[in-house]
Chains A and B, each alone.
Chain A
Amino acid sequence: MNQPELVIIGGGPAGLAAAIAARKAGVEDLLVLEREDHLGGILNQCIHNGFGLHTFGEELTGPEYAARYMARARELDIPCYTGATVLDLGRDKTITALSPDRGLFQLKPRAVILAMGCRERPRGALNIPGFRPAGVYTAGTAQRLVNLEGKMPGRRVVILGSGDIGLIMARRMTLEGAKVEAVAELLPYSGGLQRNIVQCLQDFGIPLLLSHTVVEVHGQRRVTGVTLAQVENGRPIPGTEQYYPCDTLLLSCGLLPENELSRQAGVELSPVTGGPVVSEELETSIPGVFAAGNVLHVHDLVDFVSQEATAAGENAAAYLRGEAPAGEALPIQTGAGVRYTVPAALDKGRTGPVTLRFRVDRPYKKKAVVLTAEGQPVLRRVRPVLAPGEMETLTLTPAQAAACRKAETLTLSLEEVSP
């Protein structure tokens, strides 16, 4: 196989699900390129349980969830190059990659699925003042060190950011004998799941300090402590500073889709999600280049990554068969309370149901999620609670979708619920 028809960049949950779906839809010559030595992506270091409730109806750990997809890929004889880093993706879909056993090589597939996942927001992007001593890690790096390499990054820890990885690492570090002094969160609410706040912090008596941030990192060679302060309107309140001695600061301050390659190729990116702007087929602005999973928008549940990637794999297969689904694009406007939708547009030429995923801009209680076509509500769902940390899904029946496709304007927004 010299020239695969379809190349999937990334062998994590998105890449594996996309490859499996494409193969099942009849794509013979396909190839998965994975930078790490093992398939499975971030799931390999997510050793906690809670994965797969939607897909398999049971709670799996990350490695177990990955193993199911790897086994399926093996059964379907899907070729995967591990240790293969993609260096460049061209607008004409030429892929330049490098691996220790194959050297530098080029591929020229007819279709590409982007499945590179996401990265953590690094310290440099957080503007924390102070020296740059050793002992400052992103929570994911610490997770990798502890869970895959068996190394402890420190003994006395403060965590900035209450995203799920930060909460999970507070428990992990505690179980491995470290003392986690506190988790500080800039916002007045946590971005993590309630379950993680209870089972990772409360179970171990770790304080969660809302509306707090790190105002200073102490130490020159190694972190010796951090100063936390209370925050109001994004500014530290003078006089609320408190010193916490520690040797390690973990950062869990959000994830960013990893689109360096997409940018090189000239794929149009959304300033809101950081991922490609995609059509209903999950096709980017470059025909034949699809995207799914965390590279498209950051997910909280891997089950939805797998679902989305399955759709991308099937759509890439249809593209390779020469089926032209693309009618006119009908953009979905985001109204009150809605930050973005994926896809960002419907395809007027398509039929069948639609899954819309979106996030809200702040926590809400009892609001109606309303999709309006030409000012007329097509779908209205009352949600008891909505939070920015929980991705929302709206499924349109074929009839509802058909009503939307006929419209000239579509808007998704949150509305008051009359008592």
Chain B
Amino acid sequence: MRKVSLTCICCPLGCPLEVTLEEGKDPVVRGHTCPKGHEYGRTEVTVPTRTLTTVLPVPGGDPAMVPVKTAAPIPKEAILPAMEALKGVTLTPPVALGQVVVRDIAGTGVDLISTREIPVK
């Protein structure tokens, strides 16, 4: 049995959560004051995910950097490997808004997409 302390992020209340994990059983959340908090506590200890946002260089673009994000949240532990995988990646303008710029980032099955239109300078 393992107990994890979390602070809920669903609203400004920031309830202190305590999640008890036991092999083969559903996690038990305590300290939440709403259903959203319960759900957050459960997923945060089982499969925490985050949307990664960063920028990539677009030499010759206006501007020469394009903001990008993962098309869906990826596992928290894939964030740093994803950044590693993006080292040295550059794009060619024009880049369309929503364009897939990297497929299946760091083996997560999730694509990286552009969040801004970058025309040729």
- A residues contacting B by CB (< 8 A) are 38, 44, 47-49, 59-64, 67, 146-150, 175-176, 193-195, 197-199, 202-203, 384-385, 387, 390
- Which listed residue (A64, A194, A195) contacts B97, Cβ 8 A? A64
Would you give 29 A-B contacts (Cβ < 8 Å), ordered by A?
A44-B116, A47-B54, A47-B55, A48-B53, A49-B51, A59-B51, A61-B67, A64-B97, A67-B97, A67-B117, A147-B55, A147-B65, A147-B67, A149-B64, A175-B52, A175-B54, A176-B54, A176-B83, A193-B9, A194-B11, A195-B9, A197-B7, A198-B7, A199-B50, A202-B7, A203-B76, A203-B79, A384-B33, A390-B12
Could you say which residues of chain B place their CB within 8 Å of the CB of A176? 54, 83
Cβ of A262 to closest chain B Cβ, rounded Å: 29
Cβ of A31 to closest chain B Cβ, rounded Å: 23
Q: Are B65 and A150 in contact (CB under 8 A)?
A: yes
Alpha-carbon distance A195/B115, docked complex (angstroms): 22
> B14 within 8 Å of A by Cβ?
yes
Q: Given A67-B117, A194-B9, output 10 extra A-B contacts at Cβ < 8 Å.
A: A60-B115, A61-B53, A64-B116, A148-B63, A175-B54, A193-B9, A193-B12, A197-B7, A199-B50, A385-B14
Q: Are A194 and B115 in contact (CB under 8 A)?
A: no
> B57 within 8 Å of A by Cβ?
yes
Cβ of B59 to closest chain A Cβ, rounded Å: 10
Could you say which residues of chain B place their CB within 8 Å of the CB of A202? 7
> B8 within 8 Å of A by Cβ?
yes
Q: Are B55 and A150 in contact (CB under 8 A)?
A: yes
In the complex, what residue of chain B is closest to A38 when comparing beta carbons?
A: B63
Q: Are A64 and B115 in contact (CB under 8 A)?
A: yes
Alpha-carbon distance A148/B91, docked complex (angstroms): 15
Q: Are A148 and B54 in contact (CB under 8 A)?
A: no
> B69 within 8 Å of A by Cβ?
yes
Question: By CB atoms of chain A within 10 A, which of B13, B52, B67 has the most?
Answer: B67
B25-53, CB under 8 A of A: which get 1 and which 0?
Answer: 00000000100000000000000001111
A47-B55, A59-B51 known; A194+B67 contact, CB < 8 A: no
Q: Are A63 and B12 in contact (CB under 8 A)?
A: no
Q: Are B9 and A199 in contact (CB under 8 A)?
A: yes
